[in-house]
Structure 1
């Protein structure tokens, strides 16, 4: 009977240590940085600072683009903007992130699109400068481009 209690006690202690170790283990960051800013100029809606927020799960990544300075040219309903964000790969080529998600926007509201979804590979380094954001609004294409490299630097995916 004593042997059974020791065995159960040892198993509980080992399980507790394992759970504690998992709880204290550092969380892996899949993409760094997870937020960057650009100065963008758009064909409609003005120009200004835009924030790009990135996440990654495996080979799928999402980026949300938001700006208080680039504004909606008309009132828009939720999920009515078809967007494609094209980022430049450091190794050559581009990667596209697409989607139709946006909040409802009143005339003059700051624009937010995303999350826009794309496929990445480990080690991909992606930059907005040299790429573009195209938003199709009621059949009219609005193109935004960065005037310089994003800050603090390109997105690097695990």
Structure 2
């Protein structure tokens, strides 16, 4: 009988130790900041600010873009805008996030696109450099005209 109580006590003790270890484990690292703003010049299509919203899940990351630099001349259906966001990577190279996800966009409204998908590594520092948006076969290329604020995304 005594042996059975010791076994239960040992199992309970191990369970509590495991629970304590899990509670003290570091939480998943996330991108910081998760939202930033930047200004774009899209040539004859316009210029304005953009809000970039980033998320991370391991090495997979997404960035959504809402910009007043480009407005839709007509109603656009969901998932009809193809976009590529080019970012400087760690101050020297570049990386691209791309996709064709967007909500329905009414005529005259600012373009919102994303989430655009890309791959990151721990410690990557990414800052938007340009945005290419293709709508109904027409391409608008936008160049960043300001630094990303409050700063680059760090993954």
Q: Calculate the TM-score normalised by the size of structure 2.
A: 0.85
* 8 Å CA contact retained: 2:47, 2:68: no
Counterpart mapping for 1:55-74 below 5 A: 55-67=55-67, 70-74=70-74
Classify 1:60/1:3 alpha carbon distance in 2 versus 1 (closer, same or farther; 3 Å): same
- 1:99-135 deviations in Å (ceiling 9; x for gaps): 010011111223211111112233322111xx21111
Q: Which residue of 2 aligns with 1:85?
A: 85
Offset at 1:55?
1.8
Greater mean alpha carbon deviation, residues 20-29 or residues 135-144: 20-29
Q: Calculate the TM-score normalised by the size of structure 1.
A: 0.83
* 8 Å CA contact retained: 1:45, 1:72: no
User: Which runs of 5 or more structure 2 residues have no equivalent in the other structure?
Assistant: none
Give the Cα separation in 2 of the matches to 1:54 and 1:68.
18
* 8 Å CA contact retained: 1:44, 1:73: no
Greater mean alpha carbon deviation, residues 6-15 or residues 140-149: 6-15
User: Which runs of 5 or more structure 1 residues have no equivalent in the other structure?
Assistant: none
Q: Which residue of 1 aligns with 2:149?
A: 151
SS across alignment from 2:8: helix
Offset at 1:69?
6.7
SS across alignment from 1:108: coil
* 8 Å CA contact retained: 1:63, 1:97: yes
Q: Which residue of 2 aligns with 1:29?
A: 29
Give the Cα separation in 1 of the matches to 2:141 and 2:78.
20
Classify 1:17/1:102 alpha carbon distance in 2 versus 1 (closer, same or farther; 3 Å): same
Give the Cα separation in 2 of the matches to 1:24 and 1:44.
54
Classify 1:21/1:48 alpha carbon distance in 2 versus 1 (closer, same or farther; 3 Å): farther
1:139 aligns with 2:132: no
